Chains A and B, each alone.
Chain A
Amino acid sequence: MATITTETGRAESLATAPAPALKREYPGALVVVEGIDGSGKSTQLYLLKRWLEIGGYRIHFTEWNSSPLVKSATRRGKQRRLLTPTTFSLLHAADFADRCERQIMPLLHGGYLVLADRYIYTAFARDAARGCSPHWLRNLYSFAPTPDITFYFRAPLDVAVNRIVAGRPKLKYYEAGMDLGISLDRAESFRIFQERILNNYDAMVDSDNFVLMDGTVRVNKLQKLMRQIVGERISLQQFAPKKR
């Protein structure tokens, strides 16, 4: 049975969590990418976006944690290290709600293909690793539309962690999961935190219909596969530029 590893290490069954309602009363479509830092998901979504943009399709790209609404609060909370697992989670939910209500939903109703870099599964995986109850998290995000495709980019922990650590002089406090008090060493803490998140993602593969993508495959080869899957599962014709 699929389980989620919480901060205390106890396993809670995902089966008890309410399944997100399938709300497809709109002509648009939603494609999301998920995965831990360094899994290659953003690169792949960027390439997918470029392909669709160049083809003239009606698309919109949206990113996790990008609404200007909660920016100052997030900065304040992070600088002073005031965020608890609950307030960290709620701030991100408010950010998501703002994008959902003002961009994602209106665009889906308006017949757009919406591409999201990270979605609610980021909150399920990461906030549960921080100690929030999976059941509470599922309820919190139950207003979110269910994606048409969820690509889960999976790279081995070492590969992903090395990609991130190599590119950054210093890992940030919350990014490294230092608030969990796992280890005083940031790199070590980051690794353990990412491992918990990875396990939580793995547990959702079946229950949330993830399309598993091997993040170690060469970039262009993986992109070819991604474009093929999008073409098969979504009728791109409806988002194509109208011929006059």
Chain B
Amino acid sequence: MKRGEKSVPKAKAPKAAAARKKKGKAAAAELPSRFYGSPLPGVKPEELSGTLVVIEGTDGSGRSTQISLLTEWLESEGFAVQTMGLRRSYLVGEDIDGLLAENTVTRMTLALMYSTDFFDQLERRILPALRSGLIVLADRYIFTLIARAAVRGIGRDYLHGIYETSLRPDLTFWLNVRPEIAFDREFKKSQTISYWESGRDMSLSNDLFQSFIRYQSMIKREFEYLSKRHGFIEMDGESSVADVNRILRTRIASHLGIRSTHYTPSHALTHLWR
């Protein structure tokens, strides 16, 4: 929780874009821009008036719960919200589900299918939402995709290269939990542990618990590196739902200029508020 907002305030974005155009590639590296590298073909960064908030964290870190609560809070404050997540694209979402079920897909192919899924959502849903001034809440983003591929031996520079045309989030929260806690939560939820979340394709251990812990520890190390590189707001995902939510609201409110961070979940969501 040491670093706040790294992104350019929106009012300055057009200026930054113009300067970049003038100075070319060298300037792009110096100026924090809305994109990591050159923007996607055909996209004008200055048109994107919305805000992109990313929640990262492993399964069992409480991401989905927090996103449901934040959506309700933002809507009650009068902000329109769009969400995104992994495997939710129209183009390849179901195809990836099929590949994961078969367990025969190789690492590079899977990494590229996930990037197709990501960019389809980014171009078809997220950018239009941001052009209309919406708040986009992303249930995971490129960082999970990079971490998963990196622990399978795909180069970090290669992965950053693929995602250099993607949008830099305004805020990235990392709900950090110990692998043991994530294991408990996941097991309680589904009475088993998923093949991919325990990294069983990597032959780490025949014991499911050991495999899960080793895999999630590797992912966690990648996230520690990514957190430094991209300025995540790291949060204790083991705190209570209410505590995590309060900190998220405070950070988002200050970014959006909302005065009140008061919120009590509606009847429909009280079951999440443990």
A137-154 interface code vs B (CB 8 A; 1 in, 0 out): 001101100000000000
Query: How many residues from B make CB contacts under 8 Å with A?
Result: 29
B108-127 interface code vs A (CB 8 A; 1 in, 0 out): 11011101100110011000
18 further interface pairs, Cβ-Cβ under 8 Å (given A84-B119, A97-B112, A101-B109) = A7-B41, A69-B95, A73-B95, A73-B116, A82-B120, A82-B124, A83-B91, A86-B41, A91-B92, A97-B108, A98-B105, A98-B109, A101-B106, A136-B162, A139-B158, A139-B162, A140-B161, A143-B158
CB distance from A183 to the nearest CB of B (A): 18
Interchain CB contact (< 8 A) of B91 among A73, A100, A102, A139: A73
Given contacts A87-B120, A90-B112, A98-B109, contact A76 B91 (CB under 8 A): yes
Given contacts A69-B99, A97-B106, A101-B106, contact A87 B116 (CB under 8 A): yes
A70 touches B115 (CB 8 A): no
Which residues does chain B contribute within 8 Å of A238, judged by CB atoms? none
CB distance from B233 to the nearest CB of A (A): 28
Bound CA span A174–B120, Å: 17
Which residues does chain B contribute within 8 Å of A142, judged by CB atoms? 158
CB distance from B69 to the nearest CB of A (A): 32
Which residues 30-44 of B sit at the A interface, judged by CB distance below 8 A?
37-38, 40-42
B68-111 interface code vs A (CB 8 A; 1 in, 0 out): 00000000000000000000001110010001000001111101
**A131 interface residue, CB < 8 Å from B?**
yes
Bound CA span A150–B102, Å: 35
A102 touches B116 (CB 8 A): no
Kindly report which residue of chain A lies nearest to residue B160, judged by CB atoms: A139
Which residues does chain B contribute within 8 Å of A86, judged by CB atoms? 40-41, 119, 123, 165
A73 touches B92 (CB 8 A): yes
User: Total contacts A to B, CB within 8 angstroms?
Assistant: 88
For chain A, which range describes its interface: under 10, 10 to 19, 20 to 34, or 35 or more residues?
20 to 34
**A111 interface residue, CB < 8 Å from B?**
no
4 residue pairs, one from A and one from B, having the closest CB atoms: A131-B41, A139-B161, A94-B112, A101-B106
Bound CA span A102–B161, Å: 24
Bound CA span A97–B109, Å: 5
Which residues 108-153 of B sit at the A interface, judged by CB distance below 8 A?
108-109, 111-113, 115-116, 119-120, 123-124
Which residues 117-139 of A sit at the B interface, judged by CB distance below 8 A?
130-133, 136, 139
Bound CA span A140–B90, Å: 23
**B164 interface residue, CB < 8 Å from A?**
yes
Which residues does chain A contribute within 8 Å of B92, judged by CB atoms? 70, 73, 91
Given contacts A7-B41, A139-B162, contact A69 B91 (CB under 8 A): no
B41 touches A87 (CB 8 A): no
Kindly report which residue of chain A lies nearest to residue B95, judged by CB atoms: A73
Which residues does chain B contribute within 8 Å of A84, judged by CB atoms? 40-42, 119-120, 123-124
B106 touches A98 (CB 8 A): yes
- Can you pick out 21 interface pairs between chain A and chain B where the beta carbons lie within 8 Å of each other? A73-B91, A73-B95, A76-B90, A76-B91, A82-B120, A84-B119, A84-B120, A87-B91, A87-B116, A90-B115, A91-B116, A97-B106, A97-B108, A98-B106, A102-B106, A130-B41, A136-B38, A136-B165, A139-B162, A140-B161, A140-B162
Interchain CB contact (< 8 A) of A94 among B40, B42, B116, B158: B116
Which residues 162-182 of B sit at the A interface, judged by CB distance below 8 A?
162, 164-165
Given contacts A7-B41, A86-B123, contact A143 B91 (CB under 8 A): no
Which residues does chain A contribute within 8 Å of B109, judged by CB atoms? 69, 94, 97-98, 101
Bound CA span A87–B41, Å: 11
Which residues does chain A contribute within 8 Å of B41, judged by CB atoms? 7, 84-86, 130-133
B161 touches A136 (CB 8 A): yes
Kindly report which residue of chain A lies nearest to residue B118, judged by CB atoms: A90
Which residues does chain A contribute within 8 Å of B40, judged by CB atoms? 84, 86
Kindly report which residue of chain B lies nearest to residue A98, judged by CB atoms: B109
